[in-house]
């Protein structure tokens, strides 16, 4: 009943307002080091809720309708950043079950092996065979972790210290942390080119997300140009079809990407780009800086309420 009322409310208020949801990973079972990422059961009820009470659309189609002022009420698009294998193995079957279109933005530099620096850090600190961590490369004293909570706290304390370093510097720091703690790397988490193609063949749109996932704001114009164009061209070569969408790594305007990067995206022949600025998009929005948000709520009613509240004037 409450869901029905929320649906009627947003039916009246959400015409020409596009909600774009961001996901990263969907785990088969909950990952205690990444508690905010949904598992299959959570993602299943979320997609069912979108199917029952919203109007899920392919993002390219939603943007075309939005530009024409013809986007239906309750429109929603589902997106994933980075290109994790579990997008194909766990999320895609659930998307297919509810016939929900989706877009996955792939950082192509990880498609031939290797994990992203933040995952490598989280998995290092989450490695249950280690309990004392040598952090001398970060000029920090060693830390002892006793349980999953202290592991999580340590990992999420270290991430901001590394995030805004140059991407090659980030890799060097993580390599050193692994060496100093004699730790083994975990298996590759990102899709390889064959898996990206397989996902595309199920109808999921593939978009570009740079090569190395750098903070574009900390790069030269030439580096930004190369990161943006090369990821698009590489995906087009793997997929043998045009790639029209782009997601800025980290995605906060100015802080993570400069306005000059928006121009580079336009010149690269991309049709649209998504940021991580919180909110909905309207026909007046910059189609090269569309807002997105992450519905983190763990109950269907709160999740629904947040979706509707975002669309209110
Ligand atoms: Zn990303």
Quote the pTM value: 0.95
CA of 82 to the centre of ligand 1 (A): 5
Ligand 1 centroid – CA 61 distance (Å): 23
Question: In order of start, what are the domains of the chain with their CATH numbers?
Answer: 2-112+189-311 (3.20.20.370), 117-180 (no CATH)
Protein residues placing their CB within 5 Å of the ion ligand 1: 81-82, 249
CB burial readout 55-90, b (16+ within 10 A) else e: bbbbbbebbbbbeeeebebbbbbbbbbbbbbbbbeb
Distance CA 85, CA 200 (A): 13
Below-50 pLDDT ranges, the chain: none
State in Å: Cα 214 to ligand 1 middle: 9
Determine the pLDDT at residue 11: 80
Which pLDDT belongs to residue 277? 95
CA of 232 to the centre of ligand 1 (A): 15
pLDDT at residue 226, rounded to an integer: 98
Which pLDDT score is estimated for 309? Answer: 85
Strand partners, 257: 253
pLDDT of residue 108: 98
Q: How far apart are the CA of 4 and the centre of ligand 1, in A? A: 35
Q: What is the pLDDT of residue 147?
A: 94
Gap between the Cα atoms of 142 and 311, Å rounded: 47
**What are the backbone angles phi and psi of residue 57, rounded to the nearest 5°?**
-130, 155
Using the mean position of ligand 1's atoms as its centre, give its distance from the Cα of residue 202 in Å.
22
d(CA 199, CA 145): 38
Q: What is the pLDDT of residue 247?
A: 98
Torsion of CA 92, 93, 98, 103, to 10 degrees: 10
Residue 266 has a pLDDT of 97
Q: How far is CA 166 from CA 10, 257, 293, in A?
A: 43, 14, 26
Q: Please enumerate, as own/partner, the contacts of 138-141 that have beta carbons within 8 Å and a separation of 24 or more.
A: 138/162, 138/173, 138/177
CA of 13 to the centre of ligand 1 (A): 31
**Can you give the pLDDT at residue 90?**
98
Across-strand partners of 23?
80
Measured in degrees and rounded to the nearest 5, phi and psi for residue 184 equal -95, 145
> Phi first, then psi: what are they for 182, rounded to 5°?
45, 50
Q: 81 C-alpha to center of ligand 1: Å?
A: 5
Distance between CA atoms of 10 and 307, rounded to whole angstroms? 9
CA 209 – ligand 1 centroid, Å:
7
Cα-to-centroid distance, 312 and ligand 1 (Å): 28
Measured between alpha carbons, how far is 313 from 311 in angstroms, rounded to an integer?
6
């Amino acid at each position: 009943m409450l869901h029905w009322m929320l649906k009627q409310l947003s039916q009246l208020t959400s015409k020409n307002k596009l909600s774009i949801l961001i996901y990263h990973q969907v785990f088969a079972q909950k990952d205690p080091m990444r508690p905010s990422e949904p598992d299959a059961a959570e993602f299943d009820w979320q997609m069912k809720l979108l199917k029952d009470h919203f109007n899920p659309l392919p993002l390219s189609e939603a943007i075309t309708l939005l530009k024409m002022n013809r986007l239906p009420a309750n429109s929603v698009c589902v997106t994933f950043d980075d290109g994790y294998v579990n997008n194909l193995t766990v999320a895609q079957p659930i998307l297919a079950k509810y016939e929900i279109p989706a877009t996955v933005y792939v950082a192509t530099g990880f498609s031939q092996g290797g994990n992203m620096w933040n995952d490598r850090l989280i998995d290092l600190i989450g490695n249950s065979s280690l309990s004392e961590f040598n952090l001398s490369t970060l000029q920090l004293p060693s830390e002892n972790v006793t349980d999953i909570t202290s592991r999580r706290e340590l990992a999420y304390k270290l991430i901001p210290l590394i995030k805004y370093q140059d991407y090659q510097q980030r890799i060097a720091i993580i390599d050193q942390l692994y060496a100093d703690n004699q730790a083994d790397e975990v298996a590759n988490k990102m899709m390889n080119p064959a898996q990206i193609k397989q996902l595309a063949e199920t109808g999921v749109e593939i978009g570009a997300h740079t090569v190395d996932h750098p903070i574009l704001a900390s790069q030269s114009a030439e580096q930004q140009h190369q990161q943006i164009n090369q990821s698009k061209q590489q995906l087009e070569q793997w997929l043998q079809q045009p790639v029209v969408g782009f997601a800025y790594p980290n995605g906060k305007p100015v802080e993570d990407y400069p306005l000059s990067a928006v121009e580079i995206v336009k010149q690269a022949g991309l049709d649209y780009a998504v940021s991580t600025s919180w909110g909905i998009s309207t026909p007046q929005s910059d189609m090269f800086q569309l807002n997105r948000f992450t519905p983190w709520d763990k109950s269907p009613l709160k999740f629904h309420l947040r979706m509707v509240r975002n669309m209110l004037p």
